[in-house]
Amino acid sequence: MTTSISNIDTLLTSMANDIRHQLSDKNILLIGIHTGGVWVAKALAELLGEDFFDGSLGTLNIAYYRDDFTRIGMHPQVAPSDLPFSIDDRHLLLVDDVLHSGRTVRAALNEIFDYGRPASVSFAVLIERSGRELPIQADIIGQSINLTDEQHIKLSNGDSGLQLELRSND
Amino acid sequence: MTNNQLTDSGHLRHFLTIEGLKRPLLTEIMDRAEQFSSITNRQVKKVPLLRGKTIMNLFFENSTRTRTTFELAAKRLSADVMNLNISTSATSKGESLLDTLHNLEAMHTDMFVVRHSQSGAAEFIAQHVAPHVSVINAGDGCHAHPTQAMLDMFTIRRHKQHFPDLRVAIIGDILHSRVARSQIQALSTLGVGEIRVIGPKTLLPSDCQTLGVHVYHDIDEGLRDVDVIITLRLQNERMQGALLPSAREYFQCFGLTEEKLQLAKPDAIVMHPGPINRGVEIASTVADGPQSVILEQVTHGIAIRMAVMSMALGSQSELAEGSTP
């Protein structure tokens, strides 16, 4: 693990290669987690070409599945979940920007199973950082980074495209 | 009324009336309802957001639609919901309202949904509940019915989008209608271009003008070029109070018929909070016609109530000791 972030295009290309290598014969459905995961999923779909994934991109808003409602209440609004396909007996690729505690993935898996029963779910993430609080791991990883609790990494999508920003609380 | 329905940071804590609420909050309720309404299209029509919360439906007055949609809304959010029909329970044995309330609170209730024939009942209850309990007004006397008003605004927005461009007419017994009162407040907060009320003098409040509405006693004039027509239920007890001659005559003067509907814009929508009296305030052909959105209103009631319940219970985190927003 390192603490310097590689070029984002390099990370995406390497992820796309891994996806092609591991999942190309599975007729995969692609699902991004709002908001950063949707950006990453779109970038991957572009790199892999129109025909690689079956159907259009699904999006998940896990706000109603979080475990911190009692502590922090409603989250700011983001677009609702939209899975424009049946997931029953299908292989899914779930995508997020950063894997940290693992709680978001736990919530996303719970929500997915309220839509149906997929054959399998794989998980791809741009940045895997230290600090897991649940037994969850990614199958496809852009880069692994070792960060302290005070450090945060955030993906943004501005005029110059996707960008990763590393910040410290102190 | 002071805004004791909001937390210090402006979030919904209780939902008692539209009065005093700002446009962004009403918009947030509709936006959140829009998100919740997509849940209905899934295999599992519920989300675990309010899992472990206990909601009591306290209905001191009869209701089918409102109680059922509140119950369904709570269930779709995974809350535990109890329906208490108070007229058949402890209060009829002489227990006071506050004693009933404190007993239910002792069962670790998180929210009361209150319907009462007395104006101000929900607010009274909100003043006396423990700090961690939220109260939603499901209709109090002639005062307010805020979730009904919001589901109506949501229905209008689904069909018409931009409120300032709209002309909305409310027909019927405005004087005794908590629905109309809340609707007028919501419509004006959302900046609707023109609000009209249509009815006989005996059923319109004397201070109508101060509500910022235009008053019509002639339905033909009032319906001209409107985008939205809201008909209200004519309550039978109004006839007994000698405010009206007969249901038949009322229908002739103020009933919404196909002929009268022609006076509105061709794409006008027809609404009614229910239950409808066919042939009294609305003709069957209109109620079941292509411009009617009456059953959509019922469906939208679930999503609006999910939004309000989750927002009110979500703000309780601000009251928890030592929490940071």
* pLDDT tens digits, one per residue of B28-58: 999 999 999 988 878 889 999 999 999 999 9
Say how far apart CA B227 and CA B266 lie, in whole Å.
8
DSSP structure class, residue A135: S
> How many beta carbons lie within 10 A of that of residue A135, not counting itself?
7
CA-based nearest residue to B200, from B167, B229, B242: B242
* Per-residue confidence (pLDDT) for residue A3, from 0 to 100: 59
User: pLDDT band for position B253 (50/70/90)?
Assistant: very high
Chain B neighbors of A114, CB-CB under 8 A: 42-44, 46-47
One domain for residues B200 and B132: no
> Judging by beta carbons within 10 Å of its beta carbon (0-12, 13-18, 19+), is residue A133 exposed, middle or buried?
exposed
Q: What number is the average pLDDT over the span A139-150?
A: 95
* Per-residue confidence (pLDDT) for residue B240, from 0 to 100: 67
Residue with tokens 């310097």: A4
Q: At A16, list the tokens.
A: 């796309």
B315 has pLDDT over 70: yes
Please tell me the total number of residues recorded for chain B in this structure.
Answer: 325
A160 to chain B, any CB pair closer than 8 A? The answer is no
The A residues from 72 to 111 touching B (CB cutoff 8 Å) are 72-74, 77, 79-82, 110-111
One domain for residues B288 and B309: no
> Judging by beta carbons within 10 Å of its beta carbon (0-12, 13-18, 19+), is residue A4 exposed, middle or buried?
exposed
- The share of chain B scoring above pLDDT 90, in percent, equals 75
B92 has pLDDT over 70: no
One domain for residues B38 and B102: yes
One domain for residues B239 and B259: yes
User: pLDDT band for position B89 (50/70/90)?
Assistant: low
One domain for residues B51 and B136: yes
Q: What is the mean pLDDT of chain A?
A: 92
One domain for residues B264 and B311: no
**Listed range (A97-101, B94-98, B127-131, B212-216) with the worst mean pLDDT:** B94-98
User: pLDDT band for position B237 (50/70/90)?
Assistant: low
* Per-residue confidence (pLDDT) for residue B243, from 0 to 100: 74
Residue pair A162/A155 in contact by the 8 Å Cβ criterion: yes
The alpha-carbon gap from B88 to the nearest alpha carbon of chain A, in Å, equals 34
- Cβ distance of B317 and A114 shorter than 8 Å: no
- Cβ distance of B35 and A116 shorter than 8 Å: no
How many folded domains does chain B comprise?
2
For chain B, the three-class secondary structure string (H helix, E strand, C coil) is CCCCCECCCCCECCECCCCCCCHHHHHHHHHHHHHHHHHHHCCCCCCCCCCCCEEEEEECCCCCHHHHHHHHHHHHCCCEEEEEEHHHCHHHHCCCHHHHHHHHHCCCCCEEEEEECCCCHHHHHHHHCCCCCEEEEEEECCCECHHHHHHHHHHHHHHHCCHHHCEEEEECCCCCCHHHHHHHHHHHHCCCCEEEEECCHHHCCCCHHHHCCEEECCHHHHHCCCCEEEECCCCHHHHHCCCCCCHHHHHHHHCECHHHHCCCCCCCEEECCCCCCECCCECHHHHCCCCECHHHHHHHHHHHHHHHHHHHHHCHHHHCCCCCC
Peptide bond into A35 cis (omega under 30): yes
Residue B161 inside a domain? The answer is: yes
Closest residue in chain B to residue A113, using alpha carbons only? B44
CB-based contacts of B92, cutoff 8 Å, min separation 6: none
Residue B279 inside a domain? The answer is: yes
pTM for this one? 0.90
* Per-residue confidence (pLDDT) for residue B1, from 0 to 100: 44
Q: At B181, list the tokens.
A: 């009162």
One domain for residues B30 and B80: yes
Q: What number is the average pLDDT over the span B105-132?
A: 94
The alpha-carbon gap from A76 to the nearest alpha carbon of chain B, in Å, equals 10
Residue B325 inside a domain? The answer is: no
CB-based contacts of B10, cutoff 8 Å, min separation 6: B25
| Sheet hosting strand B54-59, strand order edge to edge | B80-85, B54-59, B111-116, B134-140
Range of the domain at B39: 2-144+299-320
The alpha-carbon gap from A117 to the nearest alpha carbon of chain B, in Å, equals 10
Q: At A103, list the tokens.
A: 């709680």
Residue B245 inside a domain? The answer is: yes
Peptide bond into A76 cis (omega under 30): no
B321 has pLDDT over 60: no
B49 to chain A, any CB pair closer than 8 A? The answer is yes
Residue B162 inside a domain? The answer is: yes
- Residue to substitute from A31, A60, A74, interface B, most B β-carbons within 10 A: A74
* Per-residue confidence (pLDDT) for residue B98, from 0 to 100: 86
Say how far apart CA B168 and CA B213 lie, in whole Å.
10
One domain for residues B190 and B123: no
Residue B122 inside a domain? The answer is: yes
- Cβ distance of B311 and A74 shorter than 8 Å: yes
* Per-residue confidence (pLDDT) for residue B323, from 0 to 100: 43
* Per-residue confidence (pLDDT) for residue B91, from 0 to 100: 62
Residue B285 inside a domain? The answer is: yes
| Closest residue to A77, CB basis, from B32, B38, B315 | B32
Q: At B251, which CATH number?
A: 3.40.50.1370
* Per-residue confidence (pLDDT) for residue B156, from 0 to 100: 98
The helix/strand/coil state of A58 is strand
* Per-residue confidence (pLDDT) for residue B325, from 0 to 100: 38
Residue B91 inside a domain? The answer is: yes
Radius of gyration of chain A measured on its C-alpha atoms:
16
**Listed range (B45-59, B66-80, B206-220, B271-285) with the worst mean pLDDT:** B206-220
- Cβ distance of B314 and A80 shorter than 8 Å: no
B46 to chain A, any CB pair closer than 8 A? The answer is yes
- Cβ distance of B317 and A77 shorter than 8 Å: no
Architecture category of domain A8-168 in CATH: 3-Layer(aba) Sandwich (3.40)
* Per-residue confidence (pLDDT) for residue A6, from 0 to 100: 84
- The share of chain B scoring above pLDDT 70, in percent, equals 93
One domain for residues B158 and B207: yes
CA-based nearest residue to B110, from B83, B87, B133: B133
A101 has pLDDT over 60: yes
One domain for residues B43 and B121: yes
Domain locations along chain A: 8-168
* pLDDT tens digits, one per residue of B287-299: 999 999 999 999 9
A49 has pLDDT over 70: yes
Angle at the Cα of B206 from the Cα atoms of B205 and B211, rounded to 5 degrees: 70
Q: What is the mean pLDDT of chain B?
A: 91
Q: What is the ipTM of this complex?
A: 0.82
